[in-house]
Structure 1
Amino acid sequence: MMKLRIKTLLAATSLLLAPLFAAAAQTAANITEFTLGNGMKIIVNEDHRAPTVAHMIWYRVGAVDERNGTTGLAHALEHMMFKGTTHLKPGEFSRRVAALGGRENAFTSRDYTAYFQQIEQSRLEAVMALEADRMANLVFDKNEFANEIRVIMEERRLRTDDQPQALLFEALNATAFAVHPYRNPIIGWMDDLEHMTVEDVKAWHDQWYAPNNATMVVSGDVQPQQVRRLAEKYFGKLKPKTLVRTRPQNEPEQKGIKRVTVKAPAENPYLMLAFKVPALRDVEKDDEALALDVLAAVLDGYDNARLGARLVRTERVANEAGASYSGVGRGPAQFILDGTPAAGTTTEQLEGRLRAEVTRIAQEGVSEEELKRVKTQLIASQVYKRDSVFGQAMEIGVMEMSGLSYRDIDRIIERLRDVTPQQVQAVAQKYFGDDALTVATLVPLPISEKPPVAPPAGLRH
């Protein structure tokens, strides 16, 4: 599981802002949207710099839609989507994309599941036909499922159970959220995987995989009319489904600090502090979410940001220290501070030092000069994510699946530029008390002498 931490891709100066904003505006102007009669949304992002295309199908269903006893279904179906249709044998989807000279994969998140191909632009029709086929005609073979669920369980062992920081992050979420489905891991709890059946996965596909729950994003050297014609040809004939969303499981108010300790083989102790904070729901109104984004960048947004400069290089109380915030999602948001204590520093001491850096901002604020430097680099990192056609498709899809719009992308950048020092200081004062905090601590155990286990065959992503 990747930790979402704001890191700039390059050192930018204020002189870069004008061309960056011009590039952002040009990107928005090249997007076309339309909807098929069955409810499937199509978004076309024209970028004619190279004869390549990123083709993505996003389903607005992920781990957040699962309930106790069924965790891991969204991810398990992602694996089964490569196991054949009434027209294709298991594995043939991937072989055909490779034969076209393309690359493909898929990923599952808390909020969505997505499938993509990157191909030469003349091959777009072929991959559209493949995706439409598995949306409608997927085969659920018991033997294929039996093999694949073992791959998924081994993936869980490899990427979570045997990775102490991932194990701690899992425990952090399970403790921070009392009822909201974000408390469950995307890959699922092992007990749920052991009891999952092929009928469970088929029911998930039948419930959620429909054109009216999907968004196609095509980014690259294409024309909107061409994409519309192909989308109508291959997806337009598919029937919509009645989508019944379960009631939201809203998180009750937290009444005090929560703590969890994980003991696992590791070289060093590790610490994570998660504070419940507002998410970004309305780009025009949610000033605090934008200020939290800037606060994370002040703490850990560039090479000389506060946490690294003070705790790691100057005072040497931490080997690493970071801050992250992502307000884009269908569920609640968290602001995370984390770090590895240096020799001679305890996790308790590092916890105090991490919180002290936020308190310093709450009490003293940030200068206009520091904020200008931070925002310049933060905005540069946002814009440079669009350097590839795939990066543009990803950003569009994430926004759409999270309840925002691709139209908000440029507006977010504009509003980040307008965040004031007073707004950053205000969120530092408001959201970092004990009643919003969950602390997760990794206690290292001796590392086994056993050689590392090779990734299981069939591990895709």
Structure 2
Amino acid sequence: MLRTRYLAALPFAALIFLVLLGLLAGRGGSLTADLLPDTFRLSNGMDVVVISDHRAPVVTHMVWYEVGAADETPGKTGIAHFLEHLMFKGTDKIEPGQFSRIVARNGGQDNAFTHYDFTAYFQVIAKDRLPLVMEMEADRMSNLKLTDAEVLPERDVVLEELRMRIENDPAAELQSEMNAALYGGHPYGRDIIGHKAEIAALGTGDALDFYNRFYTPNNATLIVAGDVTADELKPLAEKYYGGIAERAPTFMRKRTQIVLPAEDKRVTRRDPRVDEATWIRFYPAPGYAGAGAEKGAALDVLGQILGGGTTSRLYRALVMEQGVATAVSAWYEGSRLDGGKFGFYALPQVGGGLEAVETAVEGEVARLLEEGVSDEEIERAKTVIVAGAVYARDNQRTMAYAYGEGLMTGMSTAEIHEWPDRVREVTKEDVLEAARSILAGTHSVTGELLPGERS
């Protein structure tokens, strides 16, 4: 299938900057319209969110399922992402492979993505074509048809995707090992795409079992952003989705607890495909829902102050003043139900070593933990983040993504809507307290990617 898929695992905070670069992304509570979205629930348990934006006769239609890679049965890793592929294989009404072609012929775009905590499908299309995509999406929610003829070749496609995205990318392999060290036996410690041997063993029955258990309206949320009101959407939602019966009970998650590292860990990989060394460090941190709105906003501001661009502390210190790095960044990844992380990334100067980079990062972190942050730093960071929120409102797909990701990872529509206000309220004391909670007295996972013979 001529489709570009991606696994939705980008940090909440990083996504806002992709928006500013004009790329598809989303950032939880920052991407809000002026009014709180309208919400209602259908009789079959399907939730509906309407984000009105009447600047153009276009809509973004998204269906989010509250199931992701972290919800897979042991031994069946990769099934969530595999089924995402298979959802384009057809129904009695739509021939295999025709779903995206129909959307394209009607002037629209579509895609899908898999996260640890959710799977989502979307179409961007003219308003007068909204009933068409709603009918199509509702059809495959209840009438997906799969046979070995469609399933087995697509399994090969997924295996090739694993080879391209993980096995052929030394940096991805390094981060896979680091996540395993950070999250231990929790599902966040494995790749969304799954384990290769387990993917290779997945079959048609596995896909249909997963589909019938989780792809039910009481486990789904419909989000429509664009030139539509709740009064206009409600009869359409009832017509196309309201008649779909619940095929299974509402999914109640039962996951293992994340066991934090009991000691600092280091993962070193050497690979002949690597031209320049890379240094990465992860600290365990709560997700947005676990941290709460105030602390989550403070962690975002902390990431911006430490490593959010050329005015950040780390860039000024490591690149401009000390000259030990050519690039450096820091970020907070909080868009996960069970726990997030705070990350650092740096590239040493040509001919330089990772030791100097690591020492310099640790020095700047220690200085922040001791001295706190300045008035100028916190105001600049908040201005950048809130300005990004304003720019992002110009993209209805981004708004739909933001609300979907936030709702799927434990936030409410009100918390998402009010996120810019929480950022504006962050104080220097909030940032220091947040920094000390995750960077002082906690154990980290450090990754080193080096040229050389494969290790």
Q: Same fold (TM over 0.5)?
A: yes
Is 1:227 the equivalent of 2:233? Answer: yes
Show the counterpart of 1:440: 447
Q: 2:80 and 2:45 mapped to 1: Cα distance?
A: 22
Q: 1:72 and 1:304 mapped to 2: Cα distance?
A: 40
Q: 1:226 and 1:446 mapped to 2: Cα distance?
A: 61
Q: 1:61 and 1:42 mapped to 2: Cα distance?
A: 17
- Please list, as runs of the form range in 1=range in 2, the aligned pairs for 1:312-331 lying within 5 A after superposition: 312-331=319-338
Q: 1:433 and 1:373 mapped to 2: Cα distance?
A: 24
Deviation at 1:434, TM superposition (A): 6.2
Q: 2:411 and 2:345 mapped to 1: Cα distance?
A: 28
Show the counterpart of 1:110: 116
Q: 1:40 and 1:408 mapped to 2: Cα distance?
A: 21
Q: 2:131 and 2:313 mapped to 1: Cα distance?
A: 50
Deviation at 1:306, TM superposition (A): 1.5
Please state whether the residue corresponding to 1:309 is helix, strand or coil: helix
Show the counterpart of 1:255: 262
Which of residues 195, 208, 212 is equivalent to 2:201? 195
CA contact 2:319–2:325 (8 Å) conserved in 1: yes
CA contact 2:76–2:198 (8 Å) conserved in 1: yes
Q: 2:253 and 2:235 mapped to 1: Cα distance?
A: 35
Deviation at 1:282, TM superposition (A): 6.3
Is 1:273 the equivalent of 2:281? Answer: yes
Change (3 A) 1:165 1:255: same
Please state whether the residue corresponding to 2:439 is helix, strand or coil: coil
Which of residues 400, 405, 408 is equivalent to 2:412? 405
Show the counterpart of 1:415: 422
Deviation at 1:423, TM superposition (A): 2.0
Please state whether the residue corresponding to 1:50 is helix, strand or coil: coil
- Please list, as runs of the form range in 1=range in 2, the aligned pairs for 1:33-432 lying within 5 A after superposition: 33-240=39-246, 241-264=248-271, 265-281=273-289, 285-432=292-439
Change (3 A) 1:350 1:115: same
CA contact 1:278–1:288 (8 Å) conserved in 2: no
Name segments (4+ residues, structure 1) moved above 4 Å: 7-11
Query: What residue identity is the alignment partner of 1:89?
Result: E
Change (3 A) 1:282 1:164: closer
Q: 2:368 and 2:148 mapped to 1: Cα distance?
A: 57
Q: Which runs of 5+ in 1 are unaligned?
A: 12-22, 448-461
- Alignment identity in percent? 36
CA contact 1:301–1:378 (8 Å) conserved in 2: no
Tell me which moved more, 264-273 or 143-152: 264-273
Q: 2:76 and 2:386 mapped to 1: Cα distance?
A: 39
Q: 2:443 and 2:98 mapped to 1: Cα distance?
A: 49
CA contact 2:47–2:221 (8 Å) conserved in 1: yes
Deviation at 1:30, TM superposition (A): 5.7
Query: What residue identity is the alignment partner of 1:444?
Result: P
Show the counterpart of 1:451: none
Q: 1:251 and 1:258 mapped to 2: Cα distance?
A: 16
Deviation at 1:433, TM superposition (A): 4.1
Deviation at 1:29, TM superposition (A): 1.7
Deviation at 1:436, TM superposition (A): 2.4
Change (3 A) 1:253 1:370: closer
CA contact 1:359–1:429 (8 Å) conserved in 2: no
Query: What residue identity is the alignment partner of 1:158?
Result: M
Tell me which moved more, 74-83 or 260-269: 260-269
CA contact 2:293–2:415 (8 Å) conserved in 1: no
Deviation at 1:3, TM superposition (A): 4.3
Deviation at 1:254, TM superposition (A): 2.6
Q: 1:3 and 1:396 mapped to 2: Cα distance?
A: 15
Query: What residue identity is the alignment partner of 2:118?
Result: Y
Deviation at 1:252, TM superposition (A): 2.2
Q: 1:316 and 1:121 mapped to 2: Cα distance?
A: 53
Query: What residue identity is the alignment partner of 2:412?
Result: S
Please state whether the residue corresponding to 1:281 is helix, strand or coil: helix
CA contact 1:171–1:262 (8 Å) conserved in 2: no
Query: What residue identity is the alignment partner of 2:288?
Result: L
Give the number of aligned pairs.
434
Q: 1:87 and 1:24 mapped to 2: Cα distance?
A: 36
Deviation at 1:446, TM superposition (A): 6.7
Please state whether the residue corresponding to 1:331 is helix, strand or coil: coil
Q: Deviations over 1:100-126 (max 9, x none)?
A: 111111111111111000001000000
Q: Which runs of 5+ in 2 are unaligned?
A: 1-6, 22-29
Change (3 A) 1:94 1:236: same
Please state whether the residue corresponding to 1:245 is helix, strand or coil: coil
Q: 2:123 and 2:298 mapped to 1: Cα distance?
A: 36
CA contact 2:62–2:222 (8 Å) conserved in 1: yes
Please state whether the residue corresponding to 2:276 is helix, strand or coil: coil
Q: With structure 1 as the length reference, what TM-score do the two structures score?
A: 0.89
Deviation at 1:371, TM superposition (A): 0.9
Please state whether the residue corresponding to 1:134 is helix, strand or coil: helix
Q: With structure 2 as the length reference, what TM-score do the two structures score?
A: 0.90
